[in-house]
Amino acid sequence: MTIKQAQNIVDHRIKEHGVRYFNELTNMALLTEEVGESARIVARKFGEQSYKDSEKGMELSEEPADILFVLICMANQTGVDLTEALKRSLEKKTNRDSERHKNNEKLV
Protein backbone atom coordinates (compact mmCIF):
# COMPACT_ATOMS: atom_id res chain seq x y z
CA MET A 1 0.00 0.00 0.00
CA THR A 2 1.34 3.44 -0.87
CA ILE A 3 1.04 6.42 1.42
CA LYS A 4 -1.51 7.96 -0.95
CA GLN A 5 -3.55 4.76 -0.92
CA ALA A 6 -3.43 4.76 2.89
CA GLN A 7 -4.70 8.35 2.93
CA ASN A 8 -7.56 7.36 0.61
CA ILE A 9 -8.43 4.25 2.65
CA VAL A 10 -8.51 6.21 5.91
CA ASP A 11 -10.63 8.92 4.31
CA HIS A 12 -13.08 6.32 2.99
CA ARG A 13 -13.23 4.61 6.40
CA ILE A 14 -13.95 7.89 8.19
CA LYS A 15 -16.71 8.73 5.71
CA GLU A 16 -18.23 5.22 5.78
CA HIS A 17 -17.92 4.30 9.45
CA GLY A 18 -17.54 7.59 11.25
CA VAL A 19 -19.56 10.75 11.35
CA ARG A 20 -16.65 13.00 10.40
CA TYR A 21 -13.02 13.59 11.26
CA PHE A 22 -12.46 14.66 14.86
CA ASN A 23 -11.26 18.26 14.94
CA GLU A 24 -7.55 18.97 14.79
CA LEU A 25 -7.21 19.57 18.52
CA THR A 26 -8.90 16.27 19.36
CA ASN A 27 -6.69 14.44 16.87
CA MET A 28 -3.59 16.07 18.37
CA ALA A 29 -4.67 14.80 21.79
CA LEU A 30 -5.30 11.32 20.34
CA LEU A 31 -1.87 11.36 18.70
CA THR A 32 -0.26 12.26 22.02
CA GLU A 33 -2.20 9.45 23.69
CA GLU A 34 -1.03 6.88 21.12
CA VAL A 35 2.60 8.02 21.42
CA GLY A 36 2.24 7.72 25.19
CA GLU A 37 0.99 4.16 24.83
CA SER A 38 4.05 3.36 22.71
CA ALA A 39 6.32 4.95 25.30
CA ARG A 40 4.71 2.88 28.05
CA ILE A 41 5.34 -0.37 26.19
CA VAL A 42 8.93 0.60 25.34
CA ALA A 43 9.59 1.54 28.97
CA ARG A 44 8.30 -1.88 30.08
CA LYS A 45 9.86 -3.99 27.34
CA PHE A 46 13.25 -2.29 26.89
CA GLY A 47 13.49 -0.08 29.95
CA GLU A 48 13.53 -0.76 33.63
CA GLN A 49 9.84 -0.49 34.46
CA SER A 50 7.81 -3.57 35.34
CA TYR A 51 4.57 -4.46 33.61
CA LYS A 52 1.33 -3.89 35.50
CA ASP A 53 -1.01 -6.88 35.38
CA SER A 54 -3.34 -4.98 33.03
CA GLU A 55 -0.46 -4.29 30.58
CA LYS A 56 0.84 -7.83 30.10
CA GLY A 57 -0.83 -8.40 26.72
CA MET A 58 0.14 -5.07 25.17
CA GLU A 59 1.96 -5.35 21.84
CA LEU A 60 4.31 -2.67 20.56
CA SER A 61 3.47 -3.63 16.96
CA GLU A 62 -0.05 -2.21 17.31
CA GLU A 63 1.02 1.24 18.43
CA PRO A 64 2.89 2.53 15.35
CA ALA A 65 -0.18 1.65 13.27
CA ASP A 66 -2.42 3.59 15.66
CA ILE A 67 -0.03 6.55 15.49
CA LEU A 68 0.04 6.36 11.69
CA PHE A 69 -3.75 6.26 11.51
CA VAL A 70 -4.08 9.47 13.53
CA LEU A 71 -1.29 11.15 11.53
CA ILE A 72 -3.09 10.25 8.31
CA CYS A 73 -6.35 11.65 9.70
CA MET A 74 -4.60 14.90 10.56
CA ALA A 75 -2.98 15.09 7.12
CA ASN A 76 -6.27 14.40 5.36
CA GLN A 77 -8.21 16.99 7.29
CA THR A 78 -5.54 19.68 6.78
CA GLY A 79 -4.91 18.95 3.09
CA VAL A 80 -1.39 17.54 3.47
CA ASP A 81 -0.16 15.12 0.81
CA LEU A 82 2.00 12.87 2.99
CA THR A 83 3.91 11.44 0.03
CA GLU A 84 5.10 14.87 -1.04
CA ALA A 85 5.69 16.01 2.54
CA LEU A 86 7.82 12.93 3.26
CA LYS A 87 9.84 13.44 0.07
CA ARG A 88 10.58 17.04 1.12
CA SER A 89 11.46 15.98 4.65
CA LEU A 90 13.85 13.26 3.45
CA GLU A 91 15.53 15.68 1.05
CA LYS A 92 15.93 18.27 3.81
CA LYS A 93 17.37 15.73 6.25
CA THR A 94 19.69 14.27 3.62
CA ASN A 95 21.11 17.67 2.75
CA ARG A 96 21.35 18.86 6.33
CA ASP A 97 22.70 15.68 7.89
CA SER A 98 24.76 14.13 5.08
CA GLU A 99 27.96 14.11 7.17
CA ARG A 100 26.76 14.98 10.66
CA HIS A 101 26.13 11.49 11.99
CA LYS A 102 29.21 9.96 10.38
CA ASN A 103 31.35 12.05 12.71
CA ASN A 104 29.45 11.21 15.89
CA GLU A 105 31.70 9.17 18.19
CA LYS A 106 28.66 7.90 20.08
CA LEU A 107 27.36 6.11 16.97
CA VAL A 108 30.56 4.26 16.08
User: What pLDDT is attached to residue 83?
Assistant: 98
What are the distances in angstroms from CA 11 to CA 23, 32, 72, 90, 103?
14, 21, 9, 25, 43
Structurally, how many domains does the chain consist of? 1
Residue 60, domain extent: 3-101
Cβ-Cβ contacts under 8 Å for 6 (sequence gap 6 or more)? 68, 72, 82
Q: What is the pLDDT along the chain (108 residues), one digit of tens a residue?
A: 999 999 999 999 999 998 999 999 999 999 999 999 999 999 998 999 888 888 778 888 899 999 999 999 999 999 999 999 999 999 999 888 888 888 888 887
User: What pLDDT is attached to residue 56?
Assistant: 77
CATH number of the domain residue 26 falls in: 1.10.287.1080
> What pTM value is reported for the model?
0.85
Contact 42, 81 (CB under 8 A): no
Residue 59 lies in a domain: yes
Residue 106 lies in a domain: no
Residue 73 Cα to chain centre, angstroms: 11
Residue 11 lies in a domain: yes
